[in-house]
Copies of this chain bind each other. A is one copy, B any other.
């Protein structure tokens, strides 16, 4: 007997037939003797419609009212799911964020979960009742509904799993697990049976969007075991095996490299001939940060003639704003010119195993060199090596690295 949280996204509950199918799936776990809580998203399309109404009425709408409107999508699904479960003879009730309560901070529209007391829900589950929880929302300190931002239902599910001390949080998605890389680029990509939280975070933040990043952060903090699996059942109605996101210690056979990620949403800026004196980095990156622009890889060249070149990467969509910020600060910073390049991609090799294995970066550089791919910027962390390359080499680089690290399926 396990205690499981099952989370279903918008496409899994897009209409009444799919809601019935999900209910059958939940019933199967209940019949197998498990204690189950369900977390649901809004029916596919609903949230977009509600968001569009808010924006059409006022582009600068009150985030608290936006939350009150948009949160209704999950409220509808939760009630319908409870009815569907009851019609199958499964005891169930819906819980809205303010009822549990799932307490958030007051950052309406992108709130963070602060706490949830799972004691009542645990006792209901032990009595055989299935709680059906509205994803994506809680209640803020102002006693008003606060939503967690798009994709927030994953985070809701992990928070519920932590609160009820679940053995596992199953996230049903339209992919069937976490792969060593994007199977659209590398057909030999393998599904990973287990992946460490840290690896999942690095893969998510560089473009492998299987789980919302915050849900993985919360799972890591609360030590919630998360399973990613397909919302499409096998021929017998059973679940296809997915990927388990767990603590590093739970992964017995660690691979040195777990996966290869890429991101095409990058741009590079180079500031030429910046005076090389203390405080200059703060003068550049302070105003960018104040403008809400996230800067990623940063490289400072060796100084020559008392000046240096500063290169960094940022999201491509932020490029025009960053250019404007730097132009405005040109006199204060005192540089010669800014060069930009939006035709770049970031390739990352990720794996907790590289903590104890040298040579991962060297293999990467050698592999790319053998394909004559020029490396523009390098950055490394404990479990990741990233390089910036010309965007046209993305597929070539990912395929070559996938083979080089022995990740191809046999």
Q: Which residues of A contact B (CB under 8 A)?
A: 16, 19-20, 50, 53-54, 56-58, 61-62, 64-69, 72, 75-76, 78-80, 82-84, 86-87, 93-94, 96, 98-99, 143-145
Other than A20-B57, A61-B83, give 13 A-B pairs with Cβ distance below 8 A. Answer: A50-B76, A57-B80, A57-B83, A57-B84, A58-B87, A65-B94, A68-B79, A68-B82, A69-B75, A69-B76, A69-B79, A72-B75, A98-B98
A16 to chain B, nearest CB (A): 6
Bound state CA distance, A79 and B55, in angstroms? 12
| The residue from B62, B78, B86 contacting A61, defined by CB atoms under 8 A apart | B86
Interface of A is mostly: helix
Closest to A78 in B: B68
Whether the pair A65, B53 counts as a contact (CB closer than 8 A) is no
Q: What's the nearest-Cβ distance from chain B to residue A134, in Å?
A: 9
Question: From residue A227, how far is it (CB to closest CB) to chain B in Å?
Answer: 27
B84 touches A68 (CB 8 A): no
The smallest beta-carbon distance between A71 and chain B, in angstroms, is 8
CB distance from A120 to the nearest CB of B (A): 11
Given A57-B84, A57-B87, A87-B57, verify A75-B79 contact (CB < 8 Å). Answer: no
Nearest CB of chain B from residue A84's CB, rounded to whole Å = 5
Whether B99 pairs with A83 at a CB distance below 8 angstroms is no
Q: Flag if B99 contacts A143 (CB, 8 Å).
A: yes
The answer to whether B83 touches A54 (Cβ under 8 A) is yes
In the bound complex, what is the Cα–Cα distance between A223 and B80 (angstroms)?
Answer: 39
Given the known interface contacts A86-B61, A93-B65, A143-B99, the answer about A53 and B75 at a Cβ–Cβ threshold of 8 Å is no
Question: Within 8 Å CB of A54, what residues of B?
Answer: 79-80, 83
Instruction: Name 15 interchain pairs, CB-CB below 8 A, sorted by A.
Output: A58-B84, A58-B87, A61-B83, A61-B86, A65-B79, A65-B83, A66-B79, A67-B79, A68-B75, A68-B78, A69-B75, A72-B72, A72-B75, A75-B75, A98-B98
CA gap between A67 and B86 in the complex, in Å: 15
Chain B residues with CB under 8 A of A57? 16, 19-20, 80, 83-84, 87
Contact B82 A62 (CB under 8 A): yes
Write out the residue numbers on chain B whose beta carbons fall within 8 Å of the beta carbon of A79. Answer: 54, 65-69
- State the CA gap A20–B53 with chains docked (Å): 12
Q: Which 8 pairs across A and B sit closest by C-beta, in order of nearness?
A: A69-B79, A72-B72, A68-B79, A58-B87, A65-B79, A61-B83, A65-B82, A57-B83
